[in-house]
Chains A and B, each alone.
Chain A
Amino acid sequence: MKSASRFIPLLVLLLFVGAVSWRLAVPNDEKIPSRLTGQPLPPFELQSAVEGVKGLSSRDFASGKPRLVNVFASWCVPCIAEAPLLLELQRQGVPIDAIAVRDKPVDVANFLKRHGNPFERIGSDPESQVQLALGSSGVPETFIVDGRGIIRYQHMGPIEASDLAELRQRWEQAR
């Protein structure tokens, strides 16, 4: 066995331990704001992701009222964790739309059936094109878009109970 390659497994272990201890040490990390914050939504027109719910277009946001856009997928486990919190926001009167990424109608329908449907419109983004145009690289993410279609805030990762107040406040500010 070559002299250098026998240390590779050790390096992999070090990398693993490094990443994991960082995670254990910094449980509540700061999130990096997206460059798209303050920019208008990229134009898009998405078909409905599930029977019975309208699709989503960037034009829908010129309504004069701020809305939330949740980027999610039925195969995404953290999305299940945040589902009840989205329902709570909707119950508080926050209108929420969604973009379902790389998903199938039956799966979305089942997801909504199991975890509730807080969404007014759900656009299907089968190739992640809109997701990427939004500057979102993972699911779940949540954007606040004001009544003129300007992105005002981006929340990365699942919404947790402790994020509710801030999201609600940011939504109020976007009026």
Chain B
Amino acid sequence: MIAEAGLASLWLAAALAALQLGLAAGLGGTPGRQLSSIRAVAIGQGILTVLAFASLVLLFLRSDMSVLLVAENSHSQKPWLYKFSGTWGNHEGSMLLWVMVLALAGAILALFERRLDRRTLGATLGAQAMLALGFFAFLLFASNPFERLSPAPVDGRGLNPLLQDPGLAFHPPTLYLGYVGLSVAFSIAVGGLVRRNVGPAIARAMRPWVLAAWVMLTLGITAGSYWAYYELGWGGWWFWDPVENASLMPWLAATALLHSVNVLAARGGLRAWTMMLALVAFSMSMVGTFLVRSGILTSVHSFAVDPTRGSFILALLTIYIGGALTLFAFRIATVKEGAPFEPVSREGGLVANNLLLSVILGIVFVGTLYPLLAEALSGEKLSVGPPYFDAVASPLALLLAALMVIAPQLRWRRDAAPVLPRIAPGLVVGSGVLMATIVLAPGIGLLPRLGLTLGATLVPASLQPLLNRSLRRTPLAVWGMCLAHLGVAVSMIGMASDSAFTRERLAAARPGDKIEVGPWLVEFRDITPVAGPNWTALEAELRASRGSGVVVLNPQSRFFAEPPTTTNEAAIDTSWNGQIYAVLGEQDGEGRWQLRLWWKPFVTLIWFGGCLIALGGALALIGRFFRERRPRRRGEDAFA
């Protein structure tokens, strides 16, 4: 019964989306009454998709094996958290989650948006309905999550054990909130272009959505990176895998958009560019989803590969992105540009930021798709790996960091005052760190050295906009900016430190052996079998000592019965200055165990920085909400 109720809600929601689109299309003449019905329909659509998703969650929690999706992806013996997260640990469920977030975003927009004029809001909700309609069709015709299975099997086929992890329970929903939040920016841009209304009001309406989506993407990427780091047991934190790139590309576009939308809101400038970025950001979310779901690129992440579904999403994204870009091409010539500015100014810095981010986005896009293009053109299959991405993207990222040192301190419009005194504290700290790395660690590579230097320069520089002003009266948005930029600095120091100072040992050891890694002496004491709720494992006992400090590490080689799979559970111990990371491998023929040990100084800063960036975004978002509710004073719209 629950499955049928879920399916019915989904159909009804799809019908409401069609109605919403029709109403919006008919909104030419008298917008008064129609807009309120569009609003009501959008809210109804949101509620119905939540119901549909809730039914699927309930089916998973109750392990209803008469539903095909549950039987294929769940198991009655799984802990409840993984039954719950199993709802979206598969293709159909994750698409339903995607659609639910999309419809909810539309509903929230309909409920709360008051800054846009009626017609622009009508056109925006129409665009949102059109997006939703396509994805409803995709769910109903190509990936029905509620399909029944008869006869029902006794028990299910489990869930990929790699995905049985608390981190995973919240990783995809976070990313989806980000992807789909960008859909609202997309719809507002389409609405603005349709109504030929591209100005600061559009930017103000778009800004909270971009900020929220960007915070979610930042959190999602940070969590995903940490998850890959401890779960895959490879010791790395970023692999330039297509699925990772699929989340990085919208983030890069959203980061650029976040900055340009402020220029539009505050100064009325960068109109065409901001509209373009708003379209590109969500387009990248759809392209990412497509690349991941179609299985067109080989990835370490496991997803259902299905050319029919691939074609369906491809058709959808061609219509949506193609339509929006065509609209852009024909309407943008009529858009007036805002207030002029000099190259050395806040606007100039933001334009440089946008260009750099866009170039990095282009590099990741080309690198991700290059194997595909190369095969189409020359018939060769190949893989573009970290050597390409690291070599091309890192220098640009460093350049971007250098820009971050100075740009936030420039004035709007033009800035003739000398720049050097303003970045002096950063330069002092940065050159100190540069000297220190040259003297103390002469052997490290150029990129890590520059990373450490620029990161250190950026720490004081990012906080400098807070100087010389009353901290109590500083808007939260400015605090947010400083915190986010500080987060970038912290994260960069972590990345540079990881690539410069990591120590690694691969050893074949018997119980009783001692292995040295970095400052640690690791004693392999014992190996014992242990059992969990749905797995059995061999667990090593490692006693790692450094000076007087002793930690015990228990890496496991875990065996899951349903489906039969072995995973390595890394053991990680975090101290203030880094992590020691241990992985237990196979046993060789002579009774020795493969042990892989890393000492990674300050590696945790990578994710700590990521969290700071997200926190900065969240502060700015909160600040926006409070400022929106106060009557606005003229010229008060400071930059976030």
Contact = CB atoms under 8 A, between A and B. Distances in A.
A binds B: yes
Contact of A24 (B276, B310, B387, B594): B310
A165 interface: no
Given A29-B375, A137-B382, A9 B314 contact: no
Contacts of A31: 379
Contacts of A106: 504, 506
A1 B585 contact: no
A102 B310 contact: no
Q: Is the interface of B mostly helix, strand, loop or mixed?
A: helix
Contact of A9 (B328, B506, B594, B596): B328
A138 B228 CA distance: 25
Given A77-B299, A110-B506, A156 B380 contact: yes
24 contacts: A1-B333, A3-B333, A6-B329, A9-B276, A9-B325, A13-B318, A13-B322, A17-B318, A19-B369, A20-B290, A20-B372, A21-B311, A23-B296, A23-B376, A24-B310, A27-B307, A29-B379, A75-B387, A76-B385, A102-B387, A110-B234, A113-B506, A113-B596, A158-B381
Given A1-B272, A138-B380, A158-B381, A10 B326 contact: yes
B369 A157 contact: no
A86 interface: no
B326 A79 contact: no
A76 B369 contact: no
Interface string A26-58: 010111100000000000000000000000000
A73 interface: yes
Interface in B308-365: 310-311, 314, 318, 321-322, 325-326, 328-329, 332-333, 335
Interface string A73-108: 101111111000000000000000000001000100
B316 to A, nearest CB: 11
B307 A24 contact: yes
Interface in A152-172: 156-158
Interface in A138-159: 138-140, 156-158
How large, as a class, is the contact surface on chain A? Answer: 35 or more
Contact of B506 (A29, A79, A109, A137): A109
A36 to B, nearest CB: 14
Contacts of A13: 283, 318, 321-322, 325
Contact of A30 (B241, B325, B371, B379): B379
A77 B314 contact: no
Contact of B383 (A18, A20, A29, A77): A77
A157 to B, nearest CB: 3
Tell which of B290, B310, B375 has the most Cβ of chain A within 10 Å.
B375
B55 interface: no
Contacts of B382: 137-139, 156-157
A27 B323 CA distance: 28
B383 A76 contact: yes
Shortest Cβ-Cβ A-B pairs, 10 listed: A138-B382, A157-B381, A75-B385, A76-B383, A6-B329, A32-B379, A10-B325, A1-B272, A19-B376, A9-B325
Contact of A79 (B379, B383, B386, B387): B383
A13 B329 CA distance: 13
B128 interface: no
A113 B385 contact: no
Contacts of A7: 329
A1 B380 contact: no
Contacts of B378: 32
Contacts of A157: 375, 380-382
Interface residues of B, number: 51
A3 B330 CA distance: 9
Interface string B584-596: 0110000000101
A25 B53 CA distance: 33
B284 to A, nearest CB: 11
Contacts of A109: 506
A10 B329 contact: yes
A114 to B, nearest CB: 8
B132 interface: no
B318 A138 contact: no
A17 B314 contact: yes
Interface string B284-304: 000100100010101110000
A79 B300 CA distance: 11
Nearest to B373: A19
Contact of A21 (B283, B314, B369, B506): B314
B375 A23 contact: yes
A29 B290 CA distance: 21
Given A19-B369, A113-B594, A75 B325 contact: no
A3 B334 CA distance: 11
A76 B585 CA distance: 21
Given A77-B298, A157-B375, 11 more contacts: A9-B276, A10-B322, A10-B326, A13-B283, A23-B375, A24-B296, A24-B307, A73-B383, A156-B380, A156-B382, A157-B380
Contacts of B298: 77-78, 81, 158
B403 to A, nearest CB: 24
A31 to B, nearest CB: 6
A6 B332 contact: yes
A24 B311 contact: yes
A13 B279 CA distance: 12
Interface string B503-533: 0101000000000000000000000000000
Contacts of B326: 10
Contacts of A14: 322
Given A1-B333, A156-B381, A138 B296 contact: no
B374 interface: yes
Contacts of B404: none
A3 B331 CA distance: 11
